[in-house]
Amino acid sequence: MNPAIVIPTYWSTTDRLGTPGSTYCYDHATPIDAEKPQLDECLASLEQVIGLQHVILLVVAPPSIEQQAVKRVKQLADAHNTPGVVIVDSFKALTAMNIFRDILPQDIGEPIGLRGYGAIRNMGLLTCCALGCDLAVFIDDDEVVLDADFLANATYGIGQKPRSGVPVIAKSGYFLDRRNSALADRRRVESYNKYWAKRSEFNQWMTQALAGPRISRSNTLCGGCFAVHAEAFTRVAFDPWITRGEDLDYFFNLRFYGMDVWFDNKWRVRHNPPRIQDTAYRFLQDVYRWTYERRKIEVCNTNIDLHQITPDQLMPYPGPWIGPDLPRRIKKTSTLRTLRTNEKSSYLKIRRTGIKDAVAYAEENCTRYLEFQSYWNTIASQAWQNEQLVHIFMAEGMLNDAVAQRMAQRNSIYDDEAEQ
């Protein structure tokens, strides 16, 4: 097996990046002037890993600071002697995608690229294809690997057939938090969150999974500790239209196409995210996410070529979040937060217009993934050990000042057109 560790890394001038209500919005980003970026600790933890050969770093940053972000990422990788590093920037991503322009419809947007959680993951898979890496191992830049056998644990069970006889080709581990726990915080839920908190549901499932056999069928997917074999990732892509939660959404996508995600209760990382308040900013992204997810599942369930997914199959979690009670949960939570939080006006706006906008977004985009998915296998097959792609990904990209200048000119043209 030839595994690659894939790490999306997000940079900005602040700790946020993007606009709520769009796919180009991220939970948090590393400030470009951060003295100690979290990626530094992540890459330091990889120094101990036995058998590490490929590390793919997907750099997400606004155009104004992208070259600076790419240079910082390169410096961090060099400082830790990270082997087989491939840094993917927007120039490389655009150049790579030009190879496939004739395959995809012109109006499909950027389903593979460095804008949006799902598209970014797809760019990681495309890079794995080009390098001939048959196992993509995703971790996040705010995580650390805990032991030298991380890759050995990542590959454990891949290709084997448990008692069910279904081969393991996609596997999730889990993360430990600052409390050294795999369970969600069990402190009392605030009254305005009683319809939105999923702690008890998730903890019920996770407790059972941790107590069971090492490899068992999963109900969820941890995108920061996830291994997927080429047999799966060349057939099924991530959804570029999900606003967040692209990892759980990929769990659904695999299920639609007859593949299971398995859970390995001996494989884990430590998650060290910055402390993020559950603000209206994040709630709106979740409203879009779950509204879109539920509508997409409804559409896919009408397709006779796909396996059906129902809430009952995924109890105690995440079944309730894709069921008919979701709209009520959203409305009640937005109302309670309007009355009982300091962001009254933001939650009132969500209740008045944000929910309707999320429903409209779901209706407009709920079939687009299936259209893109119909092209994915062709793209992945053509990308596999493609020498032209290898040349693109291994080149300097935006580390080259002339390339960075051309990208800056291109972005200024697009910015001017957007303003007109």
By the 10 Å C-beta count (0-12 exposed, 13-18 middle, 19+ buried), 359 is classed as middle
pLDDT (tens digit, 0 to 9) for every residue of the chain, 420 residues total? 999 999 999 999 987 787 777 888 898 899 999 999 999 999 999 999 999 999 999 999 999 999 999 999 999 999 999 999 999 999 999 999 999 999 999 889 999 999 999 999 999 999 999 999 999 999 999 999 999 999 999 999 999 887 777 889 999 999 999 889 999 887 778 889 899 988 889 999 999 999 999 999 999 999 999 999 999 999 999 999 999 999 999 999 999 999 999 999 999 999 998 877 668 888 999 999 999 999 999 999 999 999 999 999 999 999 999 999 999 999 999 999 999 999 999 999 999 999 999 999 999 999 999 999 999 999 999 999 999 999 999 999 999 999 999 998 887 655 433 333
Residue 201 one-letter amino acid: E
**At 172, phi and psi to the nearest 5?**
-110, 140
- The pLDDT assigned to 184 comes to 85
CA distance 130 to 38: 28
Q: How many other β-carbons are positioned within 10 Å of the β-carbon of residue 96?
A: 22
Locate 343 and state its tokens.
Answer: 């962001």
Asked whether the CA dihedral 70, 71, 77, 83 is positive or negative, the reply is positive
- The pLDDT assigned to 278 comes to 65
- The pLDDT assigned to 15 comes to 76
Q: How many other β-carbons are positioned within 10 Å of the β-carbon of residue 102?
A: 7
371 alpha carbon, distance to own chain's centre:
20
- The pLDDT assigned to 168 comes to 95
| Domains detected in the chain | 3-277+368-419 (3.90.550.10)
Residue 244 one-letter amino acid: R
Which residues does residue 215 pair with via DSSP β-bridges, in sequence order? 264
CA distance 207 to 78: 40
DSSP symbol at 118: H
Angle, CA of 321, 324 and 330, to the nearest 5°: 60
Q: What helix, strand, coil percent values describe the chain, rounded to 5?
A: 50, 15, 40
CA dihedral 161, 166, 168, 170 (to 10 degrees): 180
Cα dist from 337 to 187, 188, 249, 350, 388, whole Å: 19, 16, 26, 10, 52
Q: Which residues in 57-68 are b (16+ Cβ under 10 Å) and which e?
A: bbbbbbeebbbb
1 alpha carbon, distance to own chain's centre:
23
Of 334, 268, 256, 345, the residue nearest 297 (C-alpha): 256
Cα dist from 347 to 131, 284, 323, 394, whole Å: 46, 9, 23, 46
DSSP symbol at 191: G
Residue 228 one-letter amino acid: V
21 alpha carbon, distance to own chain's centre:
17
